[in-house]
């Protein structure tokens, strides 16, 4: 079986990969990162550092345009890339991008983006800052705030957004009430804040962050966002719930990145607590459900797949990047929770092999598609596909020596627990009143959500 897989891969793909060879993995990762970065022009004169094409006014349904959050995630993937390969090619450009997008309050809420700022969007840039902290990525220097303080500023800013007026708690998706989607409390915003708090606890050892991580997790676990199916035992982490109905129902969509976010956060908490049984059980529960949902038996059980949209080729540009994050956080989990490595490592290896086999399209003959379960290129290419392939292939270089650093184990980025506390909180001081265009946007979103609920219900019946 393994022989056959390798044979087919060699035959059909322009990128060949032997996952057991470190030098092979590094060189393939370098090619994939290079192709990903051909899309990025933010470091050229007249362009905006830190933005991908379309990043000023994004619509993830337009192929080839990428939202601000995804650019943030991409720079995180490049920090990871540097960490496991030692290749410094993209360090400068990454540092410049983070610096440029940190915003006037140093909390990743830059004026150009704040009008449509999501708690999750900020969260992904904060993850990138944490990647820098945990890898001792060179600080930007000069008067620039430390990587750790940028993440702490996001944490501090989001503290004030915890909403107990509805649903007994939770974060709304959008930071500002004038934005479409403010009614939703979603998994990625709550999970993102949970993971950020867990990583701050892990890195600093400060129990305030851990208390907060527990609080967010507990709220999510009792909400409709997390539900265990009694029969299959699968833990469903649903996309969102509606605060306008006091969170009494949910949208039945599951995404790899939500499982990755919760898994990663639980893994940091497990390690922070020196191995608590409660967190070990949560890690295993999320991991088991991840395997059941996103490593389908029909593809052999070891190839990661975006259940909701991949085989039907309807993933939007956001969704095409989601596997990158699950790959990354599975790899991190294998280090922070050593007992999980035995099941995680073979899945990362097989998925990496599959991803390389899917990198055989486009004008280069090596652009990566998303369907890792076949070596026939799926006809799509872009930043999300490249980032996902980069992340899964890089994850096979995962080893104890690159485990996330904490202050106790050598992380040097300076802590500033009060970072960002002077940031403006009242959106009406910074934001124009809602326009007709925005109202139309809200209506369109409502229609999409209704459609999703119906679609989700059908999917559940199936
Ligand atoms: C932008 O960064 C790329 C690396 O991604 C580099 O090859 C290129 O020379 C840089 N361009 C400028 C103008 O600095
Ligand atoms: C904001 O947008 C303006 C106009 O496009 C641009 O000149 C500026 O560099 C952008 N700033 C950031 C932080 O993206
Ligand atoms: C809304 O939900 C919360 C938490 O589930 C509950 O405590 C509260 O009583 C609910 N409020 C209303 C008005 O139903
Ligand atoms: C721990 O974190 C809390 C919450 O941000 C902060 O108020 C406190 O100052 C921190 N303690 C230390 C010792 O950094
Ligand atoms: C974990 O163990 C270390 C070393 O014994 C100790 O300093 C730390 O307080 C422990 N952490 C927790 C959350 O119990
Ligand atoms: C996860 O799956 C393994 C293997 O099937 C099983 O032994 C374990 O009890 C499961 N753990 C949880 C928390 O569901
Ligand atoms: C925490 O993570 C480190 C680094 O991967 C690992 O060596 C250690 O065993 C982990 N702690 C526990 C309690 O598993």
Q: Concatenated DSSP letters for 293-351?
A: HHS-GGGTS-S---TTTTTTT---TTGGGHHHHHHHHHHHHHHHSGGGHHHHHHHHHHH
Distance, first Cα to last Cα, the chain = 31
Give me the pLDDT at residue 423, please.
Answer: 67
- Angle, vertex CA 122, rays to CA 446 and CA 181, nearest 5: 10
Give me the pLDDT at residue 447, please.
Answer: 35
343 lines ligand 6 (CB under 6 A): no
- The answer to whether 303 and 5 have CB atoms below 8 angstroms apart is no
Fold of 2-423: Glycosyltransferase (1.50.10)
Q: Taking the model in full, what pTM does it have?
A: 0.92
Which two three-digit tokens encode residue 332?
A: 């991190």
How far, in Å, CA of 17 to CA of 80, rounded?
19
409 lines ligand 7 (CB under 6 A): no
Ligand 6: residue of 226, 278, 287, 288 to mutate (most ligand atoms within 8 A of CB) is 288
Task: Find the 404 Cα to ligand 6 centroid distance in Å.
Answer: 26
How far, in Å, CA of 369 to CA of 460, rounded?
28
How far, in Å, CA of 91 to CA of 140, rounded?
10
**In this predicted model, what pLDDT tens digit does every residue of 36-79 receive, in sequence order?**
999 999 999 999 999 999 999 899 999 999 999 999 999 999 99
100 lines ligand 2 (CB under 6 A): yes
- Angle, vertex CA 95, rays to CA 24 and CA 156, nearest 5: 115
DSSP E strand boundaries for 136-191: 184-186
**237 sits in which H/E element:** strand 235-237
How far, in Å, CA of 289 to CA of 378, rounded?
26
CA torsion through residues 18, 24, 348, 366, sign: negative
Which two three-digit tokens encode residue 215?
A: 């609080």
Please report, for the chain, the start and end positions of each structural domain, with discontinuous segments joined by +: 2-423
Contacts of 91 (CB under 8 A, 6+ apart): 78, 82, 137, 138
One-letter-per-residue 3-state SS of 205-220: CCHHHHHHHHHHHHHH
Radius of gyration of the chain (CA): 21
Q: How far is CA 10 from CA 21, 355, 380, in A?
A: 15, 13, 21
Ligand 3: residue of 168, 221, 241, 243 to mutate (most ligand atoms within 8 A of CB) is 168
- The answer to whether 181 and 445 have CB atoms below 8 angstroms apart is yes
Give me the pLDDT at residue 448, please.
Answer: 40
- The answer to whether 140 and 129 have CB atoms below 8 angstroms apart is no
**226 sits in which H/E element:** strand 226-228
Give me the pLDDT at residue 5, please.
Answer: 45
- The answer to whether 213 and 172 have CB atoms below 8 angstroms apart is no
Angle between helices 322-336 and 256-272 (to 10 degrees): 20
**In this predicted model, what pLDDT tens digit does every residue of 104-125 receive, in sequence order?**
999 999 999 988 999 999 999 9
Task: Find the 377 Cα to ligand 3 centroid distance in Å.
Answer: 49
Cα dihedral 41/45/47/48 (nearest 10): 100
The atom number, within ligand 5, closest to the CA of 273 reads 13
Report the helix count and the strand count for the chain, using DSSP H and E: 15, 7
The atom number, within ligand 6, closest to the CA of 343 reads 4
Which two three-digit tokens encode residue 292?
A: 């059941």
Task: Find the 235 Cα to ligand 3 centroid distance in Å.
Answer: 23
Give me the pLDDT at residue 425, please.
Answer: 57
Q: Would you call 443 exposed, middle or buried from its count of C-beta atoms within 10 A (0-12, 13-18, 19+)?
A: exposed
Q: Which of these, 130, 281, 105, lies nearest to 198 by C-alpha position?
A: 130
Task: Find the 206 Cα to ligand 4 centroid distance in Å.
Answer: 6
Please report which residue ranges of 321-435 form alpha helices under DSSP H: 322-336, 341-357, 383-394
Give me the pLDDT at residue 299, please.
Answer: 97
Q: How far is CA 124 from CA 48, 342, 451, in A?
A: 19, 28, 27
DSSP E strand boundaries for 101-196: 184-186
Give me the pLDDT at residue 14, please.
Answer: 76
274 lines ligand 5 (CB under 6 A): yes
How far, in Å, CA of 277 to CA of 296, rounded?
28
Q: How far is CA 444 from CA 54, 182, 209, 410, in A?
A: 20, 14, 37, 49
**In this predicted model, what pLDDT tens digit does every residue of 394-452 receive, in sequence order?**
999 999 999 999 999 999 999 999 998 776 654 444 444 343 333 333 333 433 433 33
109 lines ligand 2 (CB under 6 A): no
Q: Which residue is closest in CA terms to ligand 3's atom 14?
A: 246
Task: Find the 232 Cα to ligand 6 centroid distance in Å.
Answer: 12
Cα dihedral 326/327/328/332 (nearest 10): 90
Q: Per-residue confidence of the chain (462 residues) as pLDDT tens digits?
A: 344 444 444 444 479 999 999 999 999 999 999 999 999 999 999 999 999 999 998 999 999 999 999 999 999 999 999 999 999 999 999 999 999 999 999 999 999 998 899 999 999 999 999 999 999 999 999 999 999 999 999 999 999 999 999 999 999 999 999 999 999 999 999 999 999 999 999 999 999 999 999 999 999 999 999 999 999 999 999 999 999 999 999 999 999 999 999 999 999 999 999 999 999 999 999 999 999 999 999 999 999 999 999 999 999 999 999 999 999 999 999 999 999 999 999 999 999 999 999 999 999 999 999 999 999 999 999 999 999 999 999 999 999 999 999 999 999 999 999 998 776 654 444 444 343 333 333 333 433 433 333 333 333 322
Task: Find the 185 Cα to ligand 3 centroid distance in Å.
Answer: 14
Query: What is the distance of C-alpha 219 from the center of its chain?
Result: 21
Which two three-digit tokens encode residue 85?
A: 């390969």
Task: Find the 1 Cα to ligand 2 centroid distance in Å.
Answer: 52
- The answer to whether 191 and 226 have CB atoms below 8 angstroms apart is no
């Amino acid at each position: 079986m393994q022989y056959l897989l390798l044979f087919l891969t060699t035959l059909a793909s322009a990128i060949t990969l032997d996952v057991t060879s470190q030098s092979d993995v590094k060189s393939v990762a370098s090619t994939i990162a290079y192709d990903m970065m051909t899309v990025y022009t933010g470091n050229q004169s007249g362009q905006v550092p830190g933005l991908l094409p379309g990043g000023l006014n994004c619509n993830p349904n337009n192929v080839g345009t990428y939202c601000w959050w995804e650019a943030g995630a991409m720079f995180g993937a490049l920090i990871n890339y540097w960490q496991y390969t030692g290749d410094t090619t993209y360090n400068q450009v990454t540092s410049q991008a983070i610096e440029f997008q940190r915003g006037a309050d140093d909390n990743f809420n830059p004026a150009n983006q704040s009008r449509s700022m999501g708690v999750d969007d900020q969260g992904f840039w904060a993850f990138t800052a944490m990647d820098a902290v945990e890898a001792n990525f060179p600080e930007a220097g000069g008067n620039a705030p430390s990587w750790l303080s940028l993440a702490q500023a996001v944490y501090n800013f989001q503290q004030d957004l915890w909403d107990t007026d509805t649903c007994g708690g939770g974060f709304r998706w959008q930071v500002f009430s004038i934005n479409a989607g403010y009614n939703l409390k979603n998994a990625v915003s709550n999970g993102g804040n949970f993971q950020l708090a867990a990583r701050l606890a892990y890195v600093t050892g400060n129990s305030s962050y851990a208390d907060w991580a527990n609080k967010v997790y507990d709220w999510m676990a009792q909400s409709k966002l997390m539900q265990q199916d009694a029969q299959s035992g699968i833990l469903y982490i649903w996309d969102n719930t509606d605060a306008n109905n006091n969170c009494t129902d949910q949208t039945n969509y599951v995404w790899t990145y939500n499982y990755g976010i919760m898994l990663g956060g639980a893994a940091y908490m497990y390690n922070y607590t020196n191995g608590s049984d409660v967190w070990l059980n949560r890690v295993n529960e999320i991991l088991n459900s991840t395997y059941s949902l996103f490593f389908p038996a029909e593809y052999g059980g070891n190839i990661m797949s975006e259940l909701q949209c991949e085989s039907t080729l309807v993933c939007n540009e956001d969704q095409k990047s989601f596997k990158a994050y699950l790959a990354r956080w599975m790899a991190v989990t294998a280090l922070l929770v050593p007992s999980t490595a035995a099941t995680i490592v073979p899945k990362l290896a097989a998925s990496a092999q599959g991803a390389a086999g899917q990198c055989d399209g486009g004008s280069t003959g090596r652009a990566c598609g998303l369907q890792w379960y076949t070596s026939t290129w799926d006809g799509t290419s872009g930043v999300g596909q490249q980032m996902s392939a980069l992340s899964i292939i890089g994850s096979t270089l995962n080893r104890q020596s690159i485990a996330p650093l904490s202050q106790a184990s050598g992380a040097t980025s300076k802590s500033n627990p009060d970072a960002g506390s002077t940031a403006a909180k009242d959106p009406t001081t910074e934001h124009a009143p809602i326009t007709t265009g925005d109202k139309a946007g809200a209506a369109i979103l409502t229609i999409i959500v209704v459609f999703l609920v119906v679609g989700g219900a059908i999917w559940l019946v199936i």
